[in-house]
Amino acid sequence: PADAKIIAEGLSNQSEQIRIESAISLQRIHALAVEDVIWKRLADQTEVESVRVELAIALGQYQSDASLQALCLALDDRSLTLNLAAADSLRIMTGRDFGIDARAWLSWYEAAVRSQEDPFALGETFLYPTFRREVGFFESLAFWDPVTFEDPAAPRGLLKTGRRTYQDDAEDGKP
């Protein structure tokens, strides 16, 4: 999480590929210091669609008014891919599902805030997406080198897990 600001600086790089990779990296790190950078970049309609889609996914881990508003704004974009990514992030944040209907999301949110209920109370734990595919026939024959895929997990900094690493001990100042 300490590197989140450095990674977020990549969102302003001229290279589209660096911006995409920065957005994907921010899905795996939770740091409140970069939330504003993420939603502001998502709201920038001059940004390419692929970067905005990855930012919409990353924003699903931040349960705040600004993130919800930015995702609702993304629902009105012309890109269906961006609409679906934003709707999925909103569903994870709130535990509700209004699809890609921005008006329904905003009216529900306004009613929840007005009635002083926590709109994020039913939200799920954000798990960053990973890639999986079918294992091919010849790959399954290679028993000495099995194909493994990464499992979705919570971003570093979002939850304290029971499994500690040497790096955790070093960050805590323990030998």
pLDDT tens digits, residue range 50-91?
999 999 999 999 999 999 999 999 999 999 999 999 999 999
Which amino acid appears at position 4 of this protein?
A: A
Cβ 89 vs Cβ 122: under 8 Å: no
Report residue 34 as tokens: 């970069």
pTM score, two decimals?
0.82
In order along its 175 residues, the chain shows pLDDT tens digits of 888 999 999 999 999 999 999 999 999 999 999 999 999 999 999 999 999 999 999 999 999 999 999 999 999 999 999 999 999 999 999 999 999 999 999 999 999 999 999 999 999 999 988 888 899 998 888 888 888 888 888 898 887 554 555 555 555 555 5
Looking at residue 162, its pLDDT comes to 46
For 94, the enclosing helix (H) or strand (E) is helix 80-94
Quick one: how far is CA 140 from the chain centroid?
Answer: 32
Q: How many CB atoms lie within 10 A of CB 95?
A: 13
Q: Cβ-count burial of 121 within 10 angstroms (0-12 exposed, 13-18 middle, 19+ buried)?
A: exposed
Cβ 102 vs Cβ 75: under 8 Å: yes
Distance (Å, whole) CA 36 – CA 19: 16
